[in-house]
Structure 1
Amino acid sequence: MQPSYTAAEVARVLGCSVPTVYGYANKGWIRKVDDPHNLSGSTRFVREDVDQLKAEQEQLHAAGRSITEVAKQFGVYPQKVKEAISALTLDIQSVPLTVHSAKQRYAVTKEQEQEIGAYLKQQKSTRSKRNHLYVPAADVALYQSFLLAGEQPVRLKYNDQKELGFFLDDNDFLLYLEALRSYDLEPRYAIHQEKQEVQQGFTDLVVPTGKKAFYRILDVLYAVCGVENFNAEVRNGQLVASIRNGQYPLNEFVAKDALRILRNYIQSGKVVSEGNHWIFSRSDRTVQLVFKEEVYEELVGLAEAEGLSVQEWALRTLIKKRVN
């Protein structure tokens, strides 16, 4: 008699219930041992078939986890994972939903999981709820640039005693109120702009405080967007800012290379220059497509063949097209 398993042994090997084992046999995935005289005393299954099915299951599992499984791991809804895949333009492969299944699912590899996890962490952790750099009592902003006595550029900071003021060239600290009383102190730009209400969402950026771009980007945000239109804070040695999407008029304070520098530190969203304006917007957009009925039915068939909705199928196809 050929090597075989009992139903209970098959269930342990395949990680399923005993009734499922008989279901696999009825589908022809595994064969029962031919035992017309019932010499074994119970139904047994061909070991080769069971081992082959196990190998196929492991291969399917190794291809990657489903979007739902990835979402559970990161504690988010599957839609958030799909948004991350779209933003990162990841090429996610499709595999059968289960062994011998005609339906398909996405298979996210470990490397892609890491990219998605990093993206979701950045989205969750970097967006500040308000502009922590603005000091309402004095109507000024931290790191704002001023001219002292009409010529010396200085920046507003806190000293070790959490006093607001300016560090001078000789490392003396001049209190802000003292500077107002005893010197000609003038801001180099206005920090207030009209609040944007048209577009939704934010463009996020992260700049290490040790980079030259730190002050240049802050000056641009203050001068172009105004404190009303971006949330920000400095934490862990980084400026973390979220600019309200919209259209902002430029002014004489903005240098020619400011846009290029700004783009280098954008994490999500985008900014483009049009005429004398900068436009901040989402890097992904919702588009409505209209098809003839017969074309739409064909698309539905293609999507269902892969176990996807039409929207999921279209998104995956577009991502693949872009990557190729």
Structure 2
Amino acid sequence: MNEWYTQKEVADRLGVSKPTVYHYGKQGKIKKIMDPYRLHREARYYKEDVDRLAIVRKQIPTGMRPSEVAKQLGLSVQSVYKYIKDDTIKALEVPFGDERTTYVISEEAFEEAKELLQFSESERVRKIEYYESSNDIALFQLFQSSDNLIARVIRNKELDWGFYLPNYQKWVNYEEGTERYSLNPCYGIHKEPFDNKGYVHIKILKGEDILYPFIDFIYELWGIENLGIREHDLWVHISLKAGEVPFTELPFPIEQLLLHVQEGTIEIAEGLVIVRSAYRKTNLELPIKILDKVKQFAENEKITMSQWVERALQQSIDEEE
């Protein structure tokens, strides 16, 4: 009986790809049989090492890796790790290599996350989701009457636009709100579009104290032209365009806001709110054949080429680490 496996046999034995087998060898998880004279067409690995690793892998809980969850949910891998850290995605930390760990997401935990995260960060929020052009009003916008009656713009179950009156605990349509209750906007919601392309993604649970002060703040400073808001059952997803905007007063602690930033950074410096996307545009020169293949693969999965390349690079980095 052979005391070794070929690279393909190792891949089949461990249920991984051939490049992963190569990385296992580089990491010292399995030992490659030296072949300085190239007498064998395929790399070989000691059977004892491979069998030992197979036993270890069987003891590790089964499930999906963060990169696989990212692919299924249409998220960036970075966002998946953030959702794991804030416990939005339930994951089990398991050993990975020497003195390192990784995460495994069970099928049940994945389905829970899928139900909760029913949006794709790559799918830009449509303006009709948070802006009603005929009356020039925006979702959760603050209104007030001359006798200090407060109201917020919301949509009812039929998705009709109107106002919620907390003092009366009821919803009224736009006409009744403006005519009967004399509601007027507390601030403007329009600004010139920023030249920057990137966005910062923020997730705030409904009921959090910071939600409405933050929305008032960005409507007035960023304007609807430079943001997106998508309402979910339990929380609100906000896409804020990268840029630097001066302000006079911050109506909430910046530390409280930072807890809700999922992707990108927000800083306060010298009277400016500085919003930076987690992404940077770069130029890569690749053969046309590779670009055509990437385009085809991305179209098959209904994602962008950038997303496909990001995922491929992240998988390679994960394997190297």
Bin of the TM-score, shorter chain as denominator length = 0.5 to 0.7
Q: Larger relative CO (CA 8 A, sep 6+): 1 or 2?
A: 1
Deviation at 1:189, TM superposition (A): 1.4
Q: Look up the match of 1:266.
A: 261
Secondary structure of 1:222's counterpart equals helix
Q: 1:62 to 1:188 in 2, by over 3 A?
A: same
Q: Which has the larger radius of gyration?
A: 1
The 5 A counterparts of 1:29-108 are 52-58=48-54, 75=71
Count how many residue pairs are aligned between Structure 1 and Structure 2: 234
Q: Which amino acid aligns with 2:176?
A: E
Q: Look up the match of 2:179.
A: 181
Structure 1 residue 206 and structure 2 residue 198: aligned?
A: no
Whole-Å separation in 2 of the counterparts to 1:260 and 1:28 = 55
Question: Which sections of structure 2, spanning at least 5 residues, go unmatched?
Answer: 14-31, 36-44, 86-94, 283-312
Deviation at 1:277, TM superposition (A): 1.7
Q: Look up the match of 1:40.
A: none
Secondary structure of 1:151's counterpart equals coil
What's the TM-score once normalised by structure 2's chain length?
0.55
Deviation at 1:54, TM superposition (A): 3.3
Q: 1:81 to 1:208 in 2, by over 3 A?
A: closer
Deviation at 1:133, TM superposition (A): 1.6
Q: Deviations over 1:183-202 (max 9, x none)?
A: 5432111111221113x311
Whole-Å separation in 2 of the counterparts to 1:251 and 1:243 = 19
CA RMSD in angstroms comes to 5.0
Question: Which sections of structure 1, spanning at least 5 residues, go unmatched?
Answer: 17-25, 30-48, 96-106, 288-310
Q: 2:276 aligns with which of 278, 281, 291?
A: 281
Secondary structure of 2:184's counterpart equals strand
Whole-Å separation in 1 of the counterparts to 2:172 and 2:79 = 48
Deviation at 1:219, TM superposition (A): 1.4
Q: Look up the match of 2:130.
A: 133
Q: Which amino acid aligns with 1:170?
A: Y
Q: Which amino acid aligns with 2:103?
A: E
Retained in 2: the 8 A contact 1:87–1:284? no
Q: Look up the match of 1:245.
A: 242
Q: Look up the match of 1:143.
A: 140
Q: Look up the match of 1:191.
A: 189
Q: Look up the match of 1:111.
A: 103
Whole-Å separation in 2 of the counterparts to 1:225 and 1:188 = 15
Structure 1 residue 223 and structure 2 residue 188: aligned?
A: no
Q: 1:150 to 1:247 in 2, by over 3 A?
A: farther
Retained in 2: the 8 A contact 1:168–1:174? no
Whole-Å separation in 2 of the counterparts to 1:124 and 1:160 = 20
Retained in 2: the 8 A contact 1:193–1:227? yes
Deviation at 1:227, TM superposition (A): 1.0
